[in-house]
Amino acid sequence: FALRFYPFENATVSNNLIQDNNAVQGGGIYTDYAHVTIENNTIVNNNASFMGGAIFLYYTSQADIFNNKIVNNESDAGAGIMVYGNYYSKIISNVICNNYSSGNHGAGIHIQSSSSTRLNVYNNTIANNQGDGIYAGDEVHIKNTILWNNTNQVSGNSSNI
């Protein structure tokens, strides 16, 4: 991974090019129980052999992901963004496209969390991903988001969408 944030850290990642990184989880950015803001970045050509090609949010207390270009990332699940066990997160106004999930789960965004999670996905363009545009294994609120030309637009537990 290019950037890792440890428990109880508050961090802002802004106006960066995060490119060509490899990891088991979180190829571009990995957060572990941290509070992060990720904004105005280009996150491209990163790879995770397991989860979170571009971004992996692991039990993050709060994540605000705004205005990023998340393109051409790869992983087994959550090639663009993997959300696992988060408590409150917002994914707003991002372009998430051309990502590849070898496991076909959440090439754009993969949500796999506890039932106490609240995730808002607003005003994004999620397109041309090889795998699900959004895989929802937990509650997610989707509003004003374009889902286009993904292998599956949305899958998972449909009662949580």
54-100 pLDDT, tens digit each: 999 999 888 999 999 999 999 999 999 999 987 788 999 999 999 99
Question: Considering only CA atoms, which of 101, 157, 103 is closest in space to residue 130?
Answer: 101
Half-sphere CA count of 84, side-chain side, radius 13 A:
16
Q: Give phi and psi for 160, each to the nearest 5.
A: -100, 5
Say what percent of the chain tops pLDDT 90: 76
Per-residue pLDDT 10s for the chain (161 aa) are 789 998 888 999 999 999 999 999 999 999 999 999 999 999 999 999 999 999 999 998 889 999 999 999 999 999 999 999 877 889 999 999 999 999 878 999 999 875 556 789 999 999 999 999 999 887 788 999 999 999 999 998 755 56
Question: Considering only CA atoms, which of 132, 126, 140 is closest in space to residue 101?
Answer: 132
Residue 24, H or E segment: strand 22-25
Residues 111, 85: Cα–Cα separation, whole Å: 8
- Name the residue type at position 35: H
Q: Are 32 and 5 in contact (CB under 8 A)?
A: yes
Token pair for 63: 């994540």
